[in-house]
């Protein structure tokens, strides 16, 4: 995964091994702050979230949840047999 704050074509900031399933990423690097937190009605504070899940469709939905909810979403990912990486200003956080 690319660093959401890094230069183009930089080495990966984090790697996940993909077996079967799908992967999806949401972040501010290419689209800006486009995901709203429904609890605050303001842009979600995340930088980037990437999810590996049993299907690409599921990964897409769960990546939005991880981006908006942050670490609170890791138990939800676990219930769907998914894993994710959340990029925060302090660095990447992997789970579950």
Q: Give dist(CA 33, CA 14) in Å, integer.
A: 22
Tell me which residue of 54, 49, 55 sits closest to 87, measured CA to CA.
Answer: 49
Contact 84, 77 (CB under 8 A): yes
Residue range 35-88, pLDDT digits in tens = 889 999 999 888 899 999 999 999 999 999 999 999 999 999 999 999 999 998
- Taking only Cα atoms into account, the Rg of the chain, rounded to an integer number of angstroms, comes to 13
Residue 75: predicted pLDDT: 97
pTM of the model: 0.85
pLDDT of residue 15 exceeding 90, the answer is no
Residue 90: predicted pLDDT: 83
Residue 27: predicted pLDDT: 86
């Amino acid at each position: 995964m690319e660093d959401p704050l890094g230069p183009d074509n930089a080495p990966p900031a984090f790697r996940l091994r993909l077996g079967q399933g799908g992967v999806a990423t949401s972040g501010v690097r290419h689209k800006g702050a486009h995901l709203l937190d429904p609890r605050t009605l303001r842009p979600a504070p995340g930088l980037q979230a990437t999810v590996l899940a049993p299907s690409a469709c599921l990964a897409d939905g769960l990546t939005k949840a991880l981006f908006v909810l942050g670490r609170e979403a890791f138990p939800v990912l676990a219930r769907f047999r998914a894993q994710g990486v959340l990029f925060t200003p302090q660095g990447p956080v992997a789970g579950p």
